[in-house]
């Protein structure tokens, strides 16, 4: 009988009764053909591949990560709660030791959802990975986490949530932001003052092929992980780098995804984007599941691979080599141009955020307290064109006394201010408040 | 009058039902010779009956399952075409398994034509090996049978029997389709010989009424039509018991059914008269198949299981059966001995049973009565633990829609129905161990034979319509038609209904007004870019396991 050499958990939630809109790429049958292929392959009969039933996440799970404006009910539908809950089921399976690794094949995706949520950005409302990671930290006492985001779009939501966190290494490999939504994810975005070098962006040129992805993995991502020594590795497994994907321009393949997974060996993989639902997703997902389970993937190939896959062009190979040299120099050799971070200094930044799906314009003003012992107290003032004007304070997990004091003072001051809502997330005491 | 006959591993039961009442019952030991066993059982139960008075006969047999377990399958050649995914070599079955090029995608589009020369070469190698039975399977053949039809044709006409994958089930699962097709091919001759011999016996006895075989899904099919589907006759024993429970009790509400036998206890759940089915299909020996089956679980504890005491002074029961109970001359103490020692059962030598209990409990310093009491208590606890795990597993099954997650429908049996020989003696103990009210029907000892007797014909079809590809396929019923862009759910249901009724009639459902149940119904818009380009309809409908018309609960 066929046996997985690594026990693998599978949480499958295709949400056959949910869509953003009837013709939107993120719609009911997005995982239908994946399900067809997975069932036809008989993957669930393989000894050591275990399918789990999803459960919805609770508002409490979201509140460890997000400030939802005006509240959770308004931004997260049942479908979002179940997708996030599917990730929690996957995390439990791995951390209880029932399986070696797990794959949450859930939708809708989450990696464009930022700390403050006014609505849907890039098909995402709440950040499935971040909700899962903070759950893991709370439930299982794990600290050092690495996220490798292999979606074709920059994981700007996850980057935002972990921007100041020195315990989370966030690596995003994506199509260059000059050519694709959301237009961010450049090497110079390498983390906030308290977590400099903990965000690593790897923008790859359009038409990057199998060779380029696997080269970056081997020469850059694996050494970064070795250096960081995470307790757990999460893969934000977007599948839109595929040569058949209709909304991106990359040249990756099912066998490439399988090879990437076999090498990266993430503890938990979470599905993100990927919209070639008929001619990429079924094969990519089968490849990922088989690779996670340690099965030979040499027969995993798109029916049109021979006809439509083009080997990577030489100029692209050269471009990627040069990029890797530059990024290795920055992140592995330590030649990062770090900003000064004097204990107690409060650094501020302002930015505009656009929610493409819901057409919301948000303006943020953020304050972070520089700290050498913790992630630092964080305050975000956020105004949207829907009339919301909120202020949110985060006292992070493991916050030092000073940061906690600063955070509480910001909160006290804000509740007397003219905000529609004021939020406090005190992870030290496990308290979430909203006025 | 109706005859029901269930061949079990150790015992064979037969009942004769007259006007809804059990007129005669017989229990004989099962011998190695299945036909001889059937003959003896028939004679035992029919001794007072005039031949020709039987309206209906139904049998459950062990011929095919024994052939599988004892590895007596006919040499069968397999020609398989796969495509992307798992290595098809992993699913190799039989002595002559050949993979040829050619593939369909998940929609049923031909992604790579079948290699005609490859098929011909494989076929001639199979023939050269002296094999005349063939199975052909392709991945996604249930979406489009084209490659299997081509393979069967191109293999030539040297084969005496050819089984095709798309006909065995409409369910997606390529490895199981290979195994199921193989079994149907490799059991063909064995089952045909059995069926011919059984028909001969019935003829000798002047029994000419309609005759049926029981299937693992708790339904029956016409004996003569079963030749095409030999694997569907395997392992129907647990189904016989569940259908018997249904026939004798009705099983209203959510009922846990326990069949406590000599060596095993089988369990199942019946929801308001309908037993739960396995999601994919039954496992036959080493083969996972697509043969529809009731969801049952078997554990190795029964009335004749060996009882022993471990070094810590805890009683252990089963899974071994050393032989008969001590009271009947057997070698080791059994739960049956405990029942006899406690005067719950009057059979065999009571003193021998009591002495066996006394010896068993001696290391712990218990007397015979205490040991016997604890034996039955331990047995009931073990059965209860297994039943709870069984129900937990059912409730852990994945669901795929928001609606199902939020509804969070969980099974929670409200009562337990016990059948099998020791039912009256063990019922009270199980009631306590499970914390559920228990009951047993009047004819608890022959419930399995009653189940076989009154189970109706079941059948199932799977329909997939794809307006983009312009086709609708019902693989089990051999239906493949062109459809236009407007083909909708209503038309799909009508087409499915017709195909299902025709298929059911073919295997012996003669009644009017078949009760059809739609078990899966999905429709998706198919979109390319941002425009609708088609419609994908998926239907599964069937005649669910149930009782023949006119049967009144109770017997």
Smallest CA–CA separation between B461 and chain A, in Å? 17
Cis omega (within 30 of 0) for bond into A182: yes
B399 touching chain A per CB within 8 A: yes
| CB pair distance less than 8 Å for B107 and A295 | no
- B490: how many CB neighbours lie within 10 A of its CB? 8
Residues A156, A243: one domain? yes
Residues in chain B within 8 Å Cβ distance of A301: 84
Question: Residue B52: what pLDDT?
Answer: 67
Handedness of CA A409, A415, A420, A421 (dihedral sign): positive
A16 touching chain B per CB within 8 A: yes
Residues in chain A within 8 Å Cβ distance of B138: none
| CB pair distance less than 8 Å for A303 and B139 | no
A54 touching chain B per CB within 8 A: yes
Residues in chain A within 8 Å Cβ distance of B172: 36, 39-40
- Low-confidence residues of chain B: pLDDT under 50: none
Cα angle value A84/B530/A41 (rounded, 5°): 55
Residues in chain A within 8 Å Cβ distance of B103: 303
Residues in chain B within 8 Å Cβ distance of A288: none
Q: What is the pLDDT of residues A332-362, one digit of tens each?
A: 998 999 988 899 999 999 999 999 888 999 9
Do residues A11 and A104 make contact, with C-beta atoms less than 8 angstroms apart?
yes
B409 touching chain A per CB within 8 A: no
Cis omega (within 30 of 0) for bond into B319: yes
Which of A331, A366, A381 marks a domain boundary?
A331
Catalytic residue of the set A112, A118, A174, A421: A112
pTM attached to this predicted model? 0.94
CA atoms within 13 A on the CB side of B359: 14
Q: What is the pLDDT of residues B339-395, one digit of tens each?
A: 999 999 999 999 999 999 999 999 999 999 999 999 999 999 999 999 999 999 999
DSSP A57: P
**Going by DSSP bridges, is the β-strand pair B296-299/B265-271 parallel, antiparallel, or unpaired?**
antiparallel
Do residues B264 and B317 make contact, with C-beta atoms less than 8 angstroms apart?
no
Using CA atoms, how far apart are residues A183 and A312, in angstroms rounded to an integer?
A: 23
| CB pair distance less than 8 Å for A37 and B85 | yes
Q: Looking at the partner chain, which of A13, A82, A299 has a beta carbon nearest the beta carbon of B84?
A: A299
Residue A417's Cβ-count burial label (10 Å; 0-12, 13-18, 19+) is exposed
Residue A337 lies inside a defined structural domain of this protein = no
B524 touching chain A per CB within 8 A: yes
Residues A57, A81: one domain? yes
DSSP labels for B517-555? EEEEEEEEEEEETTEEEEEEEEEEEEE-S-BPTT--TT-
Residue B436 lies inside a defined structural domain of this protein = no
Q: Tell me which of A21, A23, A42 to substitute to probe the interface with B (most B C-beta atoms closer than 10 Å).
A: A42
Question: Residue B296: what pLDDT?
Answer: 96
Question: Residue B361: what pLDDT?
Answer: 96
Residues A316, A371: one domain? no
**B95 conformational bin, left if phi > 0, alpha if psi -120 to 50, beta if neither:** alpha
In 3D space, the residue among B330, B340, B338 whose CA is nearest the CA of residue B376 turns out to be B338
Residues A276, A369: one domain? no
Question: Residue B528: what pLDDT?
Answer: 74
Do residues B259 and B448 make contact, with C-beta atoms less than 8 angstroms apart?
yes
Residues in chain A within 8 Å Cβ distance of B107: 33, 278
| CB pair distance less than 8 Å for A53 and B140 | no
**Which residue of chain A is at minimal alpha-carbon distance from B175?**
A42
Handedness of CA A303, A304, A310, A312 (dihedral sign): negative
Residue B476 lies inside a defined structural domain of this protein = yes
Question: Residue A93: what pLDDT?
Answer: 98
Using CA atoms, how far apart are residues A393 and B390, in angstroms rounded to an integer?
A: 48
Residue B90's Cβ-count burial label (10 Å; 0-12, 13-18, 19+) is middle
Residues A192, A290: one domain? yes
Using CA atoms, how far apart are residues A264 and A171, in angstroms rounded to an integer?
A: 13
- In the predicted model, what is the mean pLDDT of chain A? 94
Helix residue ranges, H only, A96-165:
128-140, 156-162
The answer to whether the complex's ipTM is over 0.95 is no
Which of A302, A331, A360 marks a domain boundary?
A331
Handedness of CA A246, A252, A258, A260 (dihedral sign): negative
Using CA atoms, how far apart are residues A326 and B184, in angstroms rounded to an integer?
A: 63
Task: Assess whether A389 carries a catalytic annotation.
Answer: no
Residue A76 lies inside a defined structural domain of this protein = yes
Residues in chain A within 8 Å Cβ distance of B286: 1
Residue A170 lies inside a defined structural domain of this protein = yes
Question: Residue A277: what pLDDT?
Answer: 86
Residue A148 lies inside a defined structural domain of this protein = yes
Residues A316, A373: one domain? no
Range of the domain at A239: 3-331
Using CA atoms, how far apart are residues B351 and B327, in angstroms rounded to an integer?
A: 8
**Which residue of chain B is at minimal alpha-carbon distance from A40?**
B173
Using CA atoms, how far apart are residues A50 and A36, in angstroms rounded to an integer?
A: 17
Residues A304, A376: one domain? no
Question: In this prediction, what percent of chain A has a pLDDT beyond 70?
Answer: 100
DSSP B277: B
- A368: how many CB neighbours lie within 10 A of its CB? 25
Cα angle value A428/A431/A434 (rounded, 5°): 135
Smallest CA–CA separation between B28 and chain A, in Å? 37
Write out residues 261-280 of A within 8 Å (CB-CB) of B: 278-279
Do residues B5 and B211 make contact, with C-beta atoms less than 8 angstroms apart?
no
The domain tally of chain B equals: 2
**SS3 annotation, B479-503:** EEEECCCCCCHHHHHHHHHHHHHHH
Question: Residue B20: what pLDDT?
Answer: 87
DSSP A251: B
**Going by DSSP bridges, is the β-strand pair A431-434/A421-426 parallel, antiparallel, or unpaired?**
antiparallel
The domain tally of chain A equals: 2
Using CA atoms, how far apart are residues B151 and A68, in angstroms rounded to an integer?
A: 59
Residue A336 lies inside a defined structural domain of this protein = no
Residues A238, A291: one domain? yes
Q: Looking at the partner chain, which of B106, B399, B527 has a beta carbon nearest the beta carbon of A53?
A: B399
- Low-confidence residues of chain A: pLDDT under 70: none
| CB pair distance less than 8 Å for B106 and A286 | no
The H-or-E segment that residue A243 falls in is: none
Using CA atoms, how far apart are residues B491 and B489, in angstroms rounded to an integer?
A: 5
Residues A66, A164: one domain? yes
Do residues B296 and B327 make contact, with C-beta atoms less than 8 angstroms apart?
no
Handedness of CA B374, B380, B386, B392 (dihedral sign): negative
Q: Looking at the partner chain, which of A39, A54, A279 has a beta carbon nearest the beta carbon of B172?
A: A39
Smallest CA–CA separation between A2 and chain B, in Å? 7
Which of A298, A331, A364 marks a domain boundary?
A331
Which of B186, B220, B254 marks a domain boundary?
B186
A42 touching chain B per CB within 8 A: yes
| CB pair distance less than 8 Å for A53 and B400 | no
| CB pair distance less than 8 Å for B176 and A40 | no
Using CA atoms, how far apart are residues B94 and B92, in angstroms rounded to an integer?
A: 7
Residue B9 lies inside a defined structural domain of this protein = no
Using CA atoms, how far apart are residues A12 and A8, in angstroms rounded to an integer?
A: 13
Residue B504 lies inside a defined structural domain of this protein = yes
Q: Looking at the partner chain, which of B112, B406, B532 has a beta carbon nearest the beta carbon of A303?
A: B112
Residues A324, A359: one domain? no
Question: Residue B547: what pLDDT?
Answer: 93
B21-29 β-sheet, strand order: B21-29, B11-18, B2-7, B56-60, B211-214, B220-222
Residues A31, A62: one domain? yes
Residue A339 lies inside a defined structural domain of this protein = no
Using CA atoms, how far apart are residues B346 and B349, in angstroms rounded to an integer?
A: 9
Residues A194, A296: one domain? yes
Residues in chain B within 8 Å Cβ distance of A51: 398
In 3D space, the residue among A145, A165, A169, A8 whose CA is nearest the CA of residue A90 turns out to be A8
In 3D space, the residue among B462, B407, B503 whose CA is nearest the CA of residue B145 turns out to be B462
DSSP E strands, A338-377: 346-355, 360-369
Reduced to 3 states, what is the DSSP secondary structure of residue A145?
A: strand
Buried-state track B23-46, b at ≥16 Cβ within 10 A, e below 16 = ebbbbbebeeebbebbbbbbeebb
| CB pair distance less than 8 Å for B172 and A79 | no
Question: Residue B338: what pLDDT?
Answer: 98
Return phi, psi of residue B339, to 5°: -65, -40
Return phi, psi of residue A103, to 5°: -125, 120
Q: Tell me which of B80, B81, B85 to substitute to probe the interface with A (most A C-beta atoms closer than 10 Å).
A: B85
Residues in chain A within 8 Å Cβ distance of B180: none
Task: Give residues with Cβ within 8 angstroms of B550, minimum separation 6.
Answer: none
The H-or-E segment that residue A386 falls in is: none
Reduced to 3 states, what is the DSSP secondary structure of residue B265?
A: strand
**Which residue of chain B is at minimal alpha-carbon distance from A302?**
B84
Q: What is the pLDDT of residues B146-190, one digit of tens each?
A: 999 999 999 999 999 999 999 999 999 999 999 999 999 999 999
Task: Give residues with Cβ within 8 angstroms of A186, minimum separation 6.
Answer: A177, A201, A203
Range of the domain at B89: 77-186
| CB pair distance less than 8 Å for B536 and A32 | yes
Residue B405 to residues A36, A55, B409: CA-CA distances in angstroms?
21, 7, 8
Residues in chain B within 8 Å Cβ distance of A290: 86
User: What counts of helices (H) and strands (E) characterise chain A?
Assistant: 13, 16
Using CA atoms, how far apart are residues B152 and B154, in angstroms rounded to an integer?
A: 6
Q: How many CB pairs under 8 A join A and B?
A: 120
A296 touching chain B per CB within 8 A: yes
Which of B136, B168, B186 marks a domain boundary?
B186
DSSP B227: G
Residue B144 lies inside a defined structural domain of this protein = yes
Residue A344 to residues A264, A340, A350: CA-CA distances in angstroms?
38, 12, 20
Residue A366 lies inside a defined structural domain of this protein = yes
**Which residue of chain A is at minimal alpha-carbon distance from B281?**
A45
Do residues B464 and B417 make contact, with C-beta atoms less than 8 angstroms apart?
no
A295 touching chain B per CB within 8 A: yes
What is the CATH number for A273?
Answer: 3.40.800.20
Smallest CA–CA separation between A65 and chain B, in Å? 23
R_g of chain A, CA atoms, integer Å = 21
């Amino acid at each position: 009988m066929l046996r997985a050499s690594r026990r693998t958990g599978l949480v499958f939630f295709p949400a056959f009764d949910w869509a953003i809109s009837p013709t939107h790429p993120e719609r009911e049958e997005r995982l239908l053909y994946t399900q067809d292929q997975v069932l036809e392959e008989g993957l669930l009969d393989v000894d050591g591949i275990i399918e789990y039933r999803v459960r919805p996440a609770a508002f409490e799970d979201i509140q460890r990560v997000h400030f939802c404006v005006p509240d959770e009910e308004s931004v997260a539908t049942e479908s979002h709660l179940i997708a996030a809950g599917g990730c929690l089921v996957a995390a439990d399976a791995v951390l209880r030791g029932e399986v070696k690794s797990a794959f949450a094949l859930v939708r809708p995706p989450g990696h464009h959802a930022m700390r403050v949520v006014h609505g849907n950005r890039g098909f995402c409302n709440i950040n499935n990975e971040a909700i899962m990671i903070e759950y893991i930290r709370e439930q299982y006492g794990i600290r050092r986490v690495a996220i490798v985001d292999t979606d074709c779009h920059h994981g700007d939501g996850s980057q935002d949530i972990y921007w100041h966190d020195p315990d989370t290494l966030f690596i995003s490999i994506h199509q260059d932001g000059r050519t694709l939504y959301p237009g961010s994810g450049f090497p110079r975005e390498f983390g906030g003052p308290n977590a400099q070098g903990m965000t690593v962006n790897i923008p790859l040129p359009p038409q990057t092929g199998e060779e380029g992805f696997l080269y970056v993995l081997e020469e850059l991502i694996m050494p970064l992980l070795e250096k960081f020594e995470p307790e757990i590795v999460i893969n934000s497994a977007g599948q839109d780098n595929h040569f058949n994907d209709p909304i991106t321009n990359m040249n990756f393949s099912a066998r490439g995804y399988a090879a990437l997974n076999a090498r990266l060996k993430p503890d938990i993989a979470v599905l993100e984007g990927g919209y070639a639902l008929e001619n990429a997703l079924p094969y990519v997902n089968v490849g990922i599941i088989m690779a996670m389970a340690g099965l030979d993937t040499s027969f995993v190939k798109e029916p049109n691979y021979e006809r439509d896959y083009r080997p990577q062009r030489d100029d692209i190979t050269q471009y990627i080599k040069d990029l890797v040299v530059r990024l290795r120099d920055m992140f592995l050799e330590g030649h990062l141009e770090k900003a000064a971070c004097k204990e107690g200094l409060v650094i501020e930044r302002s930015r505009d955020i656009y929610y493409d799906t819901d057409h919301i314009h948000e303006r943020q003003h953020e304050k972070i307290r520089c700290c050498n012992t913790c992630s630092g107290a964080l305050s975000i003032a956020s105004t949207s064109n829907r009339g919301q004007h909120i202020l949110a304070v985060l006292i992070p997990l493991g916050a030092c006394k000073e940061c906690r004091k600063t955070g509480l003072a910001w909160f006290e001051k804000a509740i007397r201010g003219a905000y529609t809502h004021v939020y406090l997330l005190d992870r030290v005491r496990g308290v979430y408040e909203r006025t | 009058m109706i005859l029901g006959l269930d061949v079990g591993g150790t015992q064979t039961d037969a009942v004769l039902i007259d006007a809804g009442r059990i007129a005669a019952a017989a229990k004989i030991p099962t011998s190695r010779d299945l036909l001889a066993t059937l003959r003896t059982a028939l004679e035992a139960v029919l001794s007072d009956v005039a031949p020709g008075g039987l309206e209906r006969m139904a049998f459950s047999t062990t011929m095919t399952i024994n052939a599988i377990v004892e590895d007596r399958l006919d040499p069968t050649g397999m020609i398989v075409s796969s495509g992307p995914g798992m290595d098809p070599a992993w699913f190799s079955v039989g002595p002559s398994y050949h993979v040829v090029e050619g593939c369909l995608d998940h929609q049923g589009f031909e992604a790579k034509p079948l290699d005609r020369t490859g098929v011909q070469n494989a076929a001639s190698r199979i023939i050269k090996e002296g094999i005349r039975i063939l199975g052909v399977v392709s991945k996604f053949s249930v979406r489009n049978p084209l490659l299997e039809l081509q393979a069967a044709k191109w293999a030539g006409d040297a084969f005496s029997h050819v089984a095709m994958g798309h006909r065995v089930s409409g369910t997606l699962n390529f490895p199981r389709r290979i195994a199921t097709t193989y079994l149907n091919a490799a059991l063909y001759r064995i089952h045909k010989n059995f069926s011919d011999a059984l028909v001969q016996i019935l003829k000798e006895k002047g029994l000419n009424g309609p005759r049926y075989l029981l299937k693992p899904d708790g339904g029956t099919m016409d004996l003569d039509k079963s030749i095409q589907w030999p694997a569907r006759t395997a392992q129907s024993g647990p189904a016989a018991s569940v259908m018997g429970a249904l026939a004798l009790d009705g099983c209203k509400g959510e009922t846990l059914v326990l069949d406590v036998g000599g060596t095993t206890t089988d369990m199942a759940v019946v929801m308001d008269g309908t037993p739960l089915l396995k999601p994919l299909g039954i496992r036959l020996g080493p083969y996972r198949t697509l043969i529809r089956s009731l969801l049952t679980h078997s554990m190795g504890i029964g009335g004749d299981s060996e009882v022993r005491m471990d070094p810590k002074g805890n009683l252990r029961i089963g899974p071994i059966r050393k032989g008969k109970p001590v009271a009947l001359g057997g070698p080791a103490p059994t739960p049956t001995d405990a029942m006899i020692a406690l005067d719950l059962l009057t059979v065999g030598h009571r003193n021998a049973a009591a002495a066996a209990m006394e010896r068993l409990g001696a290391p712990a310093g218990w007397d015979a009565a205490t040991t016997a009491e604890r034996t039955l208590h331990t047995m009931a606890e073990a059965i209860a633990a297994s039943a709870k795990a069984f129900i937990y597993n059912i409730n852990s099954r994945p669901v795929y829609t928001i609606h199902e997650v939020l509804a969070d429908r969980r099974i929670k049996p409200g009562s337990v129905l016990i059948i099998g020989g020791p039912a009256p003696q063990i019922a009270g103990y199980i009631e306590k161990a499970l914390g559920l009210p228990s009951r047993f029907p009047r004819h608890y000892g022959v419930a399995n034979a009653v189940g076989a007797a009154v189970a109706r014909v079941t059948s199932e079809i799977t329909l997939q319509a794809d307006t983009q590809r312009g086709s609708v396929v019902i693989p089990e019923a051999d239906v493949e038609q062109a459809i236009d862009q407007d083909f909708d759910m209503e038309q799909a249901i009508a087409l499915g209904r017709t195909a299902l009724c025709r298929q059911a009639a073919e295997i012996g459902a003669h009644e009017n007004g078949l009760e059809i149940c739609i078990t899966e119904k999905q429709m998706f818009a198919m979109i390319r870019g941002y425009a609708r380009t088609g419609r994908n309809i998926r239907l599964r409908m069937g005649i669910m396991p149930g009782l023949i018309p006119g049967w009144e609960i109770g017997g």
